[in-house]
Structure 1
Amino acid sequence: MSQDLKGSLVGFCNPLLDISSVVDDSLLAKYKLKANDAILASPEHVPLFQELIDSWDAKFLPGGAGQNALRGAQLLLPADSAVFIGAVGSDENAQRLKGAADKAGLRTNYMVNEEKPTGTCALLITGPNRSMVANLSAAETYSVEHIKKPENWKNIEDAKFYYITGFFFTVSPETIERVAKHANENNKTFTMNLSAPFVPQFYKEKVAETLPYVDILFGNETEAAAFAQNFGIESDDVKKIAKAVADLPKVSSKPRLVVFTQGAESTVVASSDSDEVRVYPVTPVPAEEIGDSNGAGDAFVSAFLSQHILGRSVDECVEAGTWLGGLVVREIGPNFPDRKLEYVPSGSFVPEISKL
């Protein structure tokens, strides 16, 4: 099994070191931030990073949505199944990121920028909410030229599954296009995460060009609403949005699966080959057990993808995602429990079926 899955999953995103702090609403107001959002840093946000370190007991955590998801997937897959690709600086923060990947058994293939530091992400935690402000730095210099090199392109040729975050549209849409077309031409599975509301808003054209290649699309309820608003879907019902997105044009005959999480609320799954929309229950984590919500969505993707690669049913993939998301939300930051992780299907995880 391990030999069959060696290098089978490749993911692309912006590897970032998280600077995480529990803050109050006054800091959000100072920098005009929303309690639950993800944005790119503007010049007015630059002082925020040092302020977190100086005044808010900041902790340094390995981050970057794609690398988080790939770390979790590798923890649930046979050894050497997953490879992560992105750009870092030649500095201590890059070593911190690689160290976290190494601990999970995740192989990294970084493009190293000698001129810029490794990117960082400010994580402002207010109760169960988190606001993310990313300063991409070296991460934004990733170039398609890196993946064109034969020794790096071999990672793409060896893989059967690909995971791209919407954040990567800000950096290298050329890489996304190249990998998406390779997946389609070779009957492989291409998956994508909307990642943040600004992605379908400000990168609508690139998302529209990529979506026909997407076999599985992930997102949350706010990203679903942003997609609907920017792509002319006249509904605020997550079930109807999921089905409408699933039915958008596709270049291959393979059905498209759309998976929208809603935090502690239900998870919605729609497919282009069925009129049924599945709505899965989520058992809320008691408030006193919540560390913070950062990384819970990435953990859901981790477990879903790992079980999909292992050939499990959609019901089992969603149950696995819900299980791992519930574990990670109990941690501080995008961390996985420090023990061996193993998903065991319950056999009783049954969705509510809606027909639209």
Structure 2
Amino acid sequence: MIVENVLRPGFEALRDRFAAHFARDDEFRELGAALVVYRHGEKVVELYGGWQDDAASQPWGERTLTNIWSASKGVLALAIAQQVDTGVLDYDAPVARWWPEFAQAGKGSITLGQVMSHRAGLNGFSEPTTAQDLYDWELVTARLARQAPLWQPGSLVAYHGMTYGWLAGEVLRRATGLTPRDYIAAHIAAPLQADLALGVPAARAADVATIVPPQADGKAVELNSFAIHCVRNPVPDAAAANQPGWRSAQLPAVNVHASADGLARLYAALANGGRLDGATLLSPAGLARLVAPRGAAEDQMLGARQWAAGVALSLGGLYGPRADAFGHSGWGGSFGCADPASGRGIAYITRRMGSALNGDPRARGLVELATKM
């Protein structure tokens, strides 16, 4: 049963598409999911359905949280953009300005902008790295600081799936004195009254949906020698998201937990000049810097993808038909995006992960209708 908390006239087709996903007969049949759309600061759609858990004992509710995987990167991108906006950080300055140890092994000229746009040459680890290592912030950041680039920084774009979080997150920590978790709580979630957090707050453990890992991708792309670094040492394990260690760790690239409304509020602000309900997250100039294209629209792992400073632009209809739309998607289908032309902030979260590396069919269908003028 689909709950229609909010459904303004004109969005009935979006509701029907969302509901139809619960009746699919393939790997993309929803088990529990939510969708929220804001338009010019007003919530116009809030839909959810299914169950939080495998036993179907906890109905999905408006406060249900989901690990949103790489949609987390958009949250961290906003945090960095805020500090660029204040002049504390600078996309064009070397990372070593704030993190001196990072200059080791020939990395002294790598800029913050190259980190944010997946051009830093550090999309994996050189040293043997276990899944348990990823929970140790000091260990991982020290490892990245002493590591030589895996390819020439700035020469190409290759998605930094996990390492993006520690690279950008350590710059944020050095510049502000706050861990990424505390920064996001104080400077994004609190002013927005957005239900999202890095990791899971202890008081919210009962609200977290169980992740269902994806099936093997029947159309898997063979990764080249640049992209392969992203998915080995260690090999990603979707089931890890259900473990206490994952939920308590700070993995800024992949373990923000959010309700659909929480993530949608972030993008609702960005779709409306950086402001929502009296809270200002970014100035117009700061927002423009966040979404300015950086480098070629070609990613060695993801294919045609136009990166800005930590968010992807809507190349090929990724976030609807308008080129100025932007956002970030996560492994398995969840996403958040802003469509400034229509003033819409959109978020879709799901616990059943799809296998498609690019273009989850549920997400594609929803964003098409959610951005329709």
Q: TM-score range by the shorter chain?
A: under 0.3
Higher relative contact order (CA 8 A, sep 6+): 2
Larger strand proportion, structure 1 or 2? Answer: 1
